[in-house]
Amino acid sequence: KQEVTQIPAALSVPEGENLVLNCSFTDSAIYNLQWFRQDPGKGLTSLLLIQSSQREQTSGRLNASLDKSSGRSTLYIAASQPGDSATYLCAVRPGPSGGSYIPTFGRGTSLIVHP
């Protein structure tokens, strides 16, 4: 059974810092990995989707990397801003041998960026 762990669970940093959020998974036979952002009381917003054949994806100040063999992904946030404050979740979708489309989510990293 796939298990997804996100470290740290919570993070509080001053504005301007570069951040690294970690996501690890136990079964490397994945199809893709997706990073989401969730604001309090809101749904999930997709940030980046990395296919299993890719090493990284970039969108603005966000960069996500994937090392499938070691079961790890990192989300790098450059020059953090107070507006980045949210919970960040990663979700792993199993590969073809994993059966149906059942993504496994991590518990998230709660980020606070203070001015």
Chain residues that interact with another protein, rule: CB under 8 A: 31-32, 34, 36, 41-46, 49, 51, 89, 91, 100-103, 105-108
Q: Minimum distance between the CB of residue 20 and another protein, rounded to whole angstroms? A: 21
CB of 66 to another protein, least distance (A): 14
The minimum distance between CB 16 and another protein, in angstroms, equals 30
Q: Which amino acid is at 46?
A: S
Backbone angles phi, psi at 91, to 5 degrees: -135, 135
User: Is the previous residue joined to 103 through a cis bond, with omega within 30 degrees of 0?
Assistant: no
What six digits make up the tokens of 38? 């969730």
